Structure 1
Amino acid sequence: MKATSLLLAASVLALAVPAAAQDITPPPDAAGQAQQAPLAQDGELEGEQAGDIVVTAVARGTNRLDSSVSVSSLGEEEIQKIAPRSVAEVFRNIPGIRSESSGGEGNANIAVRGLPVASGGAKFLQLQEDGLPVLEFGDITFGNADIFLRSDFNVARVEAVRGGSASTFASNSPGGVINLISKTGETQGGSIQGTLGLDYEEYRVDADYGGRLAPDLRFHIGGFYRQGEGPRRAGYDGNKGGQIKANITKEFAGGYLRVFGKYLNDRAIGYLPNPVLVRGSNGDPDYQNVPGFRINRDTLHSRYFTTNVTLDADNRLTTNDIRDGQHPVVFAAGFEVQGEFADGWTVTNRFRFSDVSGRFISNFPGSVDTAAGTATALGGAGATARYFNGPNAGQAVPANQLVASIVVFDTKLNSLDNITNDLRLGRQFELGGGTLDLTGGFYASQQEIDTAWLWTSTLLEVRGRGNAALVDVRGPAGQVVTQDGFYGYGARFFGNCCRRRYDVTYETYAPFASATFSSGGLTLDGSLRYDFGNAEGAVYGSDLGGGRVGITRGDINADGVITPPETQVAFIPYAQPAPVDYDYDYLSYSVGVNYRFRDDLSAFARYSRGARANADRLLFGPAVSTVTGDLVDADAAVDFVKQAEGGLKYRQGGLALFGTVFYAETEEQNFEATTQRFFNRDYRAWGVELEGSIRRGPFSLSAGATYTDAEIRRDAINPGVEGNRPRRQAEFIYQVTPQFDTERFTIGANVVGTTDSFAQDNNELVLPGFTQVNAFAQVRLMDRVQLAVNANNLFNVKGFTEAEEGTIPANGIVRARSINGRTVSASVRLDF
């Protein structure tokens, strides 16, 4: 309640700002609209200033060539052309960002500049909407921040800051910040677009509208709805739902007040690793489709397996719908207010409350083997496998048919509610022939993590097109080994781990301050942030040890007989909670210098130390006492990142070039749910980041590339990997977008690629590099009407982003995630 009271008090204080504001020129709008410059469209400036005003993770809106941070921006038109199927596919077009866009609409692994992804999500990177975090932590297990984020017509632009001041202008984001900036009604009018999948089933409608209700009052509203099987063949509508967002802005002398809201209710399959056949050697592997299953088009989901029978969070028998997939439900509302007083002080406050809940449920293959091998492993010599359902129900499964031992990752997201307030006060002074900008503020947030893990174990044949059937195994004498395709009503393939309940609240507070001195072409800046917080609550589960038991017996199908699978019923042991009660704090700082040699050229250098507080992935591990809830290892609560960077920036007419060298040292403690492994490591990474664009008449080209040399410097648990390259970290990633644009048509391509990386930290099995080509064509038949065709992964490449195995197993079957295969869509857009 401390955080809630503090946030509400700050909100009330902020709402008093308009009454005190005086009649002076409006300052930049901190949500993303630079009001002092003419707007071509919401969030985009006209002329040479296009994309140059930085508003994310800085004290105030600053020209890119005058700032000592690395920042990139993608506008609405750019996003539309690359036809992203998820926000992760938007992010992978930002230099320095490694976005593994293979998980569907969410659940992507996202990293920046060689900072590690030891488990999942975006640990060192914060995802924001309009300057506030989507969730306080970007890597909540089964609640990664991108699951609750959608890109649609509401987005004016996406802005990304790598390193630099991200450490001091946001909490838990030492690697950087990616900010989705919304339209706010600066431009009168709107659009409606219908999109149809030509070679896959999806139907989508996007619409938005904004403008003036009065000379000092503007609004914007928009959203989308879609339905269909999605980019992979699941046998049912895997994607179904939508979003609506709205805001209204009241302008007054010296500032503005904006109120906004969002409702997201969407279902999308979470694509987890699938089986692929690997021939050759670990160092030179050849990845091939297994019979009847295309790794980039199929998924281990099926029309014949849509319900999970399990005990719910209250240990009562229930059935959950696997078709829910990643199902975020978000009600969010808040306000942003900015005002300037007669003595030159500017006050800005952003506040948002998000009611976040839903479900994450998807099928993870614990192992894959032939039907004969699986039957023998589970039922002994002479055991047999038969189809439980589907068109061949009751018949024997062919001995060589592949069968996946599935752990259903059924996780109920009871509450990921988040309440956040960011209050800032700033003023500019004349000093020594230059100007001094001072900014101070206070940030506070409360993040709930209330989730229940309700996993089960089943057998599912490996078959594509959504036609996989459940499989039953019987012993050599016909005795029951599995029941209705279920081997156990818990994570039996994982040793019956992980029937868990998290009920923890994290409070974060952070005073911060910055000073920027500018004189002529020189800009010096420094900033400090002191984060402190606490974690309070309890966790439940037999994984906590101490004699806790989480397995019981139960007549699941109510037939009066307890079968072997019914002796393996997992439950949450609420009678033996483990408290969580600890505090943490850390200091972040950043100093930078920028020198603008002339209007079109500048150079910068920066050093920063930031940190990330560990959240739920620290629990159920050795760092937190299950008796007192306090930290056993005081250093485990916070992981530090130290970074140095420097570079050149050039922009003249239609040519822009930006180059940055960087160096980072990272601490990390983490937990991975799929392997049940903890990590305690130090990393080092250095590299070069390049970005550029050129326009000559109707032709334009934008490109970015990042070279990274990363290394595991220390591993307290597995010293054998020290000196190795972190898994999935390629040395070179790149993006190139050429296009030809006339009054009546636009044609172009968006190319993203990566060189080889290693599947695991042992540096044996290679994930081959790949290049993905996305093509687009737009035709404007008449004013305000546009037809477009977009091809995502035009050449249907298999692009592997991760694999569970570190070496090729004896049967050659590796569990891996590939990017989606080719999907072609057509759309009609009407602007009005």
Structure 2
Amino acid sequence: MLKTLFATGTALVALSTALSAPAGAQAVGTPDTTPATTTSVDSAPVDKAAVEKADQEGTDIIVTGSTRAQRRFDVSYAINTISKEDVEKIAPVNFADLIGQLPGFQTEITGGEVQNIYRIRGLPNDGGFVSFQQDGLPLFHENDGVFFRGDAILKQDLMTDHVEVVRGGPAPVYASYSGAIVNAITVTGKDVTRGKAQLTLGDTGLYRLDAYQAGPISEKTYYAVGGFLRYHDGYRDNGFPNDKGGQIRANILHELDNGSIKLNVNYVNDHNTFYLPIPTADPRNPSVSLDPYIDYFNGTMNSPALRDVNLKYRDGAGVIQNRNSDLSDGRHMQMVNVGAQYDADFNGWLVSAKGGFTKGKLDFAAFYSTTNPVDGNAFANSYLARTTAAFGAVSRLGYVLAGTNTVYDPNAASGLVMQGQYRDIHSSFYSAQTNLSVAKRFDTGFGSHDLKVGFYGSLYGEDSKTLYQNYLIEVRGQPRTLELVAYSAAGTALGRVTDNGVLNYAATLSQGDSDAKMFALYANDTWEIVKGLRIDAGIRHERYKYTGYASLTAQANLGDATTLADDTTRAFTGAILNQKLSPKATNWTVGANYDFSNHVGVYGRASHLETPPNVQTVMSINPTILTTVADQYEAGLKLASGRSYLYVTGFYTNFDPLNASFLAFDPTTGRNDVNVPFIGKAKVKGIEFDGAWQVKPWFSLNGALTISDPKYKNFESSTGADPTQAEGNQIVRQPKVYGNIRPSFDFDTNGTKISVYGRFTYMGKRYVDLYNNTALPAYGTTGAGVTLCHGSWQVQVVGDNLFNAHGLTEGNTRTDSLSGQGNAEAIYGRPIFGRNFRLVIGKSW
């Protein structure tokens, strides 16, 4: 497999000898017409000369992280443009799958449609360093909200014209908390009305309708409106729909003599079920697969048995409260955003003003993994002492199906039982953000300066109500909940360990509120000393002010003498903890670029990223408060001609301090309260390849390859865990090698355009734990598709993981993060999705 990937890298390098390759056909990764990606002035004013030059050469125009719109080849940082044509050929299962095809982005797509993992090369984090933006402005200031991130409120559909993705480079100057920017540029209207509608049907019970239309309202005033509706049973069989809902986006653009004004609105109302890890092998004998009980590709611990959950806790007044929750609601996101944008050119002074306000609520229900499955007899016997103390002379313990008197014998099935944790979370949030900037190009006696200065500010906040309770379940897909009953020698039921399947009521209970004010001043200067030689430098200073409170809790017994499930719950005391915090950060970047010609160039860059603690710290009790610092260094080679290109970037990151602390699950109390603090550093060095080769007018080859060495360094722990065992180890869940190859055949026959394409994606070996004891084996998946376009009609068939390759994207993070799963390879994890197909029928006008 590695030989295959390195051969791919060699093939991409061969582009340097093919700079005269024909540019008459489209390569994946490059839009078919440049104007589609250059008419928008959403993130930077358009440089008309650059647009004309790019149009002639068939190259991309980019606006993200730049003072003004310019050719991709001319910038001194790593950036990709993903066009609608790219989205069609990549055919992603979710947004993370789309971004994961880019170099330097390692994503995990197995959580469902949203809230997946986005890792940027050099930054060991599960998504907190990726800023999701729409037209250059975030919809929510922080990258991570309460159990949601940007892909939950910014969803891909036909209203996205293209996506620009910056890795490293100037990201810390143009966005907060950011080592990368994912900027979705929306469709805007033009003089000619255009639109498209498409229906997607999938063999996983997927039904999705996408549509948009854009055009003129009157002279110089244009509209665009579109969105999607979707119903999906899911890639895994929950026993209820996985996804249901959609979004709508609209904007009105009015052109001025020297610029434009745009108004926009977004509305999201969507349910998405979250997939968690499942056991894949018997921990008593890891060579024994659990596939007969919980299918590797479509099995899940989600279950209709959790459609009507009773959540029980004691409030601050001492009154026992009950509320119901339905697992099928999943992550229910409701959000509305309104925004305005003004861009103008006053005799070379480029003025941009953007503002937006977002208000939303999230209701989140999910069933999380906790401990490994255990032998049914051993689990029952472990409660003998407690039940005897509580209920008297207990002779034995036995299982029945929750809510019934039906005896359940684990030995008649897998012989195992297991625990799971139902999480019920409710949050409301708001975010007002504005960005003002002025740019001007000055000619001097020694080159020219393109200077941009700006102000960014945000008022935002969140509240949160969280309750976790644990269940006892059987080991199978869509598991039933179990009761563990204590019996006397005469067979009389004396009491229960559980209560309708609940092992622990209110194992975790929290409530809080937070509000934040922040502002940032930033500036960037691009100094072109001589033609082709540019030095770019920027700085951003941020100041925050957080206020909030957290409700205090204490251990309590809810007083039901017939069960142990309510003996050690968390209860609100009625007291609150008021908190304030005033973090600040200063980020900077310096880069140099030299273009030997329009086809060959080199660049280098250093960036400094400071990430302050987020606003959730002031509604948490005893949070870990750290400002993390990442120093990033990059050096790149650029080769481009027509629609062929190769970008090679070497990178090195020193990340200090790295907070690898985690809360482990305590099976005795049922709480996620075992704090294991691990503070240290991370050092990551590597190289990434990003290439497209137009081999023939009818055949192109795209590829991305990242090779790195992600290491832990200088760890410390105050709880007795041995930090030396993590020294020099591979960073958890991060591979040393990952990439993809995407060939495409495009030709016309009898007026029908036919495109046949494929995708092979490789993910290298990773580890579930800091000590690198348990591995997640490497895997590769193959996908393919065909698209036929005739006139205004389009038909597409696409398939993923055609050969049902096995692979795990994570282990069981509640219990294995420190020292693994007691096995060389993971036996508990979140598997990749199995083979699936989609049919897309579309019509354009």
Query: TM-score, structure 2 length as denominator?
Result: 0.85
Q: Structure 1: which amino acid aligns with 2:201?
A: L
Asked if 1:354 is matched to 2:358, the reply is: yes
1:141·1:616 contact (CA, 8 Å) conserved in 2? no
Asked if 1:322 is matched to 2:288, the reply is: no
SS in structure 1 at match of 2:609: strand
1:499·1:550 contact (CA, 8 Å) conserved in 2? no
CA distance in 1 between counterparts of 2:89 and 2:288 reads 30
User: 2:124 is matched with which residue: 94, 104, 116?
Assistant: 116
Q: Structure 2: which amino acid aligns with 1:294?
A: D
Within-5 A mapping of 1:169-318: 169-173=174-178, 175-186=179-190, 188-198=193-203, 200-277=204-281, 288-311=289-312, 316-318=321-323
CA distance in 1 between counterparts of 2:643 and 2:59 reads 11
Between stretches 105-114 and 759-768, larger displacement belongs to 105-114
Name 2:786's counterpart in structure 1. Answer: 777
Name 1:14's counterpart in structure 2. Answer: none
Q: Structure 2: which amino acid aligns with 1:482?
A: T
Instruction: Give the superposition deviation at 1:475.
Output: 1.7
SS in structure 1 at match of 2:185: strand
Instruction: Give the superposition deviation at 1:517.
Output: 1.2
Q: Relative to structure 1, is the Cα distance of residues 159 and 137 closer, same or farther in structure 2, using a 3 angstrom cutoff?
A: same
Asked if 1:86 is matched to 2:94, the reply is: yes
Instruction: Give the superposition deviation at 1:817.
Output: 1.2
Q: Structure 1: which amino acid aligns with 2:43?
A: A
User: 1:656 is matched with which residue: 645, 657, 680?
Assistant: 645
SS in structure 2 at match of 1:218: strand
Q: Relative to structure 1, is the Cα distance of residues 674 and 270 closer, same or farther in structure 2, using a 3 angstrom cutoff?
A: farther
Name 1:669's counterpart in structure 2. Answer: 659
Between stretches 454-463 and 399-408, larger displacement belongs to 399-408
Asked if 1:408 is matched to 2:429, the reply is: no
Name 1:577's counterpart in structure 2. Answer: 576
Name 1:827's counterpart in structure 2. Answer: 840
Q: Relative to structure 1, is the Cα distance of residues 552 and 689 closer, same or farther in structure 2, using a 3 angstrom cutoff?
A: same
Q: Structure 2: which amino acid aligns with 1:326?
A: R
Q: Relative to structure 1, is the Cα distance of residues 689 and 812 closer, same or farther in structure 2, using a 3 angstrom cutoff?
A: closer
Asked if 1:792 is matched to 2:800, the reply is: yes
Asked if 1:604 is matched to 2:603, the reply is: yes
Name 2:763's counterpart in structure 1. Answer: 754
Q: Structure 1: which amino acid aligns with 2:307?
A: T
Name 1:161's counterpart in structure 2. Answer: 166
SS in structure 2 at match of 1:742: strand
SS in structure 2 at match of 1:800: coil
Q: Relative to structure 1, is the Cα distance of residues 599 and 35 closer, same or farther in structure 2, using a 3 angstrom cutoff?
A: closer
Name 1:715's counterpart in structure 2. Answer: 715
Q: Deviations over 1:547-570 (max 9, x none)?
A: xx1434166xxxxx7533244454
CA distance in 2 between counterparts of 1:642 and 1:80 reads 36
SS in structure 2 at match of 1:297: coil
SS in structure 1 at match of 2:306: coil
CA distance in 2 between counterparts of 1:145 and 1:749 reads 28
CA distance in 2 between counterparts of 1:33 and 1:703 reads 31
Instruction: Give the superposition deviation at 1:587.
Output: 1.3
Q: Structure 1: which amino acid aligns with 2:546?
A: A
1:504·1:580 contact (CA, 8 Å) conserved in 2? no
Instruction: Give the superposition deviation at 1:108.
Output: 1.4
Name 1:506's counterpart in structure 2. Answer: 516
CA distance in 2 between counterparts of 1:29 and 1:621 reads 41
CA distance in 2 between counterparts of 1:286 and 1:429 reads 70
Name 1:639's counterpart in structure 2. Answer: 628
Q: Relative to structure 1, is the Cα distance of residues 526 and 810 closer, same or farther in structure 2, using a 3 angstrom cutoff?
A: closer
User: 2:138 is matched with which residue: 120, 123, 133?
Assistant: 133
Between stretches 401-410 and 316-325, larger displacement belongs to 401-410
CA distance in 2 between counterparts of 1:553 and 1:90 reads 48
Aligned length: 761
Instruction: Give the superposition deviation at 1:76.
Output: 1.0
CA distance in 2 between counterparts of 1:538 and 1:621 reads 8
Q: Relative to structure 1, is the Cα distance of residues 521 and 434 closer, same or farther in structure 2, using a 3 angstrom cutoff?
A: same
Name 2:705's counterpart in structure 1. Answer: 705
Asked if 1:71 is matched to 2:79, the reply is: yes
Name 1:682's counterpart in structure 2. Answer: 681
Name 2:41's counterpart in structure 1. Answer: 29
Name 1:370's counterpart in structure 2. Answer: 375
Q: Structure 2: which amino acid aligns with 1:168?
A: V
2:523·2:539 contact (CA, 8 Å) conserved in 1? yes
Q: Relative to structure 1, is the Cα distance of residues 550 and 648 closer, same or farther in structure 2, using a 3 angstrom cutoff?
A: same
1:72·1:161 contact (CA, 8 Å) conserved in 2? yes
Query: TM-score, structure 1 length as denominator?
Result: 0.86
Instruction: Give the superposition deviation at 1:578.
Output: 1.7
CA distance in 2 between counterparts of 1:90 and 1:656 reads 20
Name 2:391's counterpart in structure 1. Answer: none
CA distance in 1 between counterparts of 2:823 and 2:601 reads 56
Name 1:475's counterpart in structure 2. Answer: 486
Between stretches 782-791 and 308-317, larger displacement belongs to 308-317
Instruction: Give the superposition deviation at 1:36.
Output: 3.5
Q: Deviations over 1:82-103 (max 9, x none)?
A: 2222111111011101111111
Q: Relative to structure 1, is the Cα distance of residues 653 and 278 closer, same or farther in structure 2, using a 3 angstrom cutoff?
A: farther
SS in structure 2 at match of 1:514: strand
Within-5 A mapping of 1:461-540: 461-464=474-477, 466=478, 468-477=479-488, 478=493, 479-491=495-507, 498-518=508-528, 519-540=530-551
Name 1:428's counterpart in structure 2. Answer: 441
Name 1:48's counterpart in structure 2. Answer: 57
2:474·2:482 contact (CA, 8 Å) conserved in 1? yes
1:379·1:473 contact (CA, 8 Å) conserved in 2? no
Sequence identity (%): 25
Instruction: Give the superposition deviation at 1:686.
Output: 0.7
Q: Relative to structure 1, is the Cα distance of residues 102 and 221 closer, same or farther in structure 2, using a 3 angstrom cutoff?
A: same
1:356·1:418 contact (CA, 8 Å) conserved in 2? no
SS in structure 2 at match of 1:373: helix
1:791·1:822 contact (CA, 8 Å) conserved in 2? yes
Q: Relative to structure 1, is the Cα distance of residues 96 and 476 closer, same or farther in structure 2, using a 3 angstrom cutoff?
A: same
2:58·2:642 contact (CA, 8 Å) conserved in 1? no
Q: Deviations over 1:463-517 (max 9, x none)?
A: 22x4x211111124332111111112222xxxxxx31113112322110111111
1:164·1:608 contact (CA, 8 Å) conserved in 2? yes
User: 1:457 is matched with which residue: 470, 482, 495?
Assistant: 470
Q: Deviations over 1:157-210 (max 9, x none)?
A: 12111111001111111x211112211124631111111112x11211111111
SS in structure 1 at match of 2:73: helix
Name 2:22's counterpart in structure 1. Answer: none
Q: Deviations over 1:421-476 (max 9, x none)?
A: 11111111111263211111111112312111111111122222x4x211111124
Instruction: Give the superposition deviation at 1:234.
Output: 0.8
SS in structure 1 at match of 2:292: coil
1:278·1:812 contact (CA, 8 Å) conserved in 2? no
Q: Structure 2: which amino acid aligns with 1:563?
A: T
Q: Relative to structure 1, is the Cα distance of residues 742 and 318 closer, same or farther in structure 2, using a 3 angstrom cutoff?
A: same
Name 2:400's counterpart in structure 1. Answer: 386
Between stretches 229-238 and 177-186, larger displacement belongs to 177-186
Q: Structure 2: which amino acid aligns with 1:539?
A: A
Q: Relative to structure 1, is the Cα distance of residues 275 and 530 closer, same or farther in structure 2, using a 3 angstrom cutoff?
A: same
CA distance in 2 between counterparts of 1:405 and 1:811 reads 23
Q: Deviations over 1:122-180 (max 9, x none)?
A: 1222122221224333234522332223111111112111111001111111x211112
CA distance in 1 between counterparts of 2:824 and 2:454 reads 59
Instruction: Give the superposition deviation at 1:373.
Output: 3.2
CA distance in 1 between counterparts of 2:602 and 2:300 reads 48
Q: Structure 2: which amino acid aligns with 1:407?
A: Q
Name 1:20's counterpart in structure 2. Answer: none
Between stretches 706-715 and 128-137, larger displacement belongs to 128-137
CA distance in 2 between counterparts of 1:760 and 1:617 reads 26
Between stretches 401-410 and 439-448, larger displacement belongs to 401-410
Q: Deviations over 1:22-75 (max 9, x none)?
A: xxxx997133785838999xxx97453432x22112222222222111111111
